Structure 1
Amino acid sequence: MKRTNYSSGAPLEEIAGYSRMVKVGNHVYIGGTTAVQPDGSVCGETPNEQARFIFEKFTDLLRQAGAQVKDVIKVKAYITDMGFAKEVADAYSQIFKPVRPLFTMIETPKLNRPAQKVEIEIEAVIGCEIS
């Protein structure tokens, strides 16, 4: 199977040696993604705003890999307070409710920046048919 690594251009990717997204055959994996913008600021103050920003990023990344939202099979969100679960779930539902992938939320004490409230990763299999 062919493997393709995708970079977002973040300097830490090169320093640490990781990819934002990896495609292996028809499987697509997008690593933990936060609402950090290219200038380093965090987009959105609420968990809902941050999650919507991240899901929009995912839609663009999936397209780059030849995948679509309907191909997503697993979503995992890390949130800094379980009280944010409904807001993140609302953002998730706006995109993924018809697809119904696995969805897990885990509370973590903190993320990279104090303003960050949510980090999300996804997995997709290109060509999935919803039954």
Structure 2
Amino acid sequence: MIESVSDREVVSSGAVWEPLVGYSRAVRVGSWISVAGTTAAGPDGAPVGGDDVAEQTREAIRRIEAALAQVGAGLGDVVRTRMFVTDITRWEEVGRAHGEFLADIRPASSMVQVSALIDPRLLVEVEADAVLG
């Protein structure tokens, strides 16, 4: 669902906690688009990909791509990504999955270890910023 408030477009993933927490999957203001931290959490809470951190990364990026499409953008417009991982020793698995989608685009990127995500089964969360034009 896209909601437009003047020059601000808001994309919702439909998650019940979006209004509770007060966030959107993505926000576009002018040519700038920010996509919120995205995980592989399935409808039942279990992550798509199980404990495969690379598959969780792929799923998060696919969801980011879908959110970007709702505001007229794509992965080719991404200028920055941030990856939050619960086990930095698995950085290469996450990095290779990221590269499957973004190697030719090569956005500025960060990967940091965090102590936990909202569900202990989630191993990675990805954010993205994109610019049109």
Task: Provide TM-score, normalisation by structure 1.
Answer: 0.93
Match of 1:50 in 2: 56
Q: Is 1:75 aligned with 2:81?
A: yes
CA distance in 1, matches of 2:65, 2:21: 25
CA distance in 2, matches of 1:38, 1:66: 26
CA contact (8 A) 2:25 2:67 kept: no
Task: Provide TM-score, normalisation by structure 2.
Answer: 0.91
Match of 1:16 among 12, 21, 37: 21
Unaligned runs of 5+ in 2: 1-5
Query: Once superposed, what is the RMSD of the aligned Cα atoms?
Result: 1.1
How far did 1:18 drift? Answer: 1.1
Unaligned runs of 5+ in 1: none
What fraction of aligned residue pairs are identical, expressed as a percent? 36
How far did 1:76 drift? Answer: 0.1
Size of the aligned set, in residue pairs, is: 127
Match of 2:98 among 72, 87, 92: 92
**1:79-104 CA distance string (max 9 Å, x none):** 00111110010011111010110010
1:15 aligned counterpart, secondary structure: helix
How far did 1:40 drift? Answer: 2.1
Q: Is 1:35 aligned with 2:40?
A: yes
Match of 2:125 among 98, 119, 126: 119
**1:52-73 CA distance string (max 9 Å, x none):** 0111111111111100111000
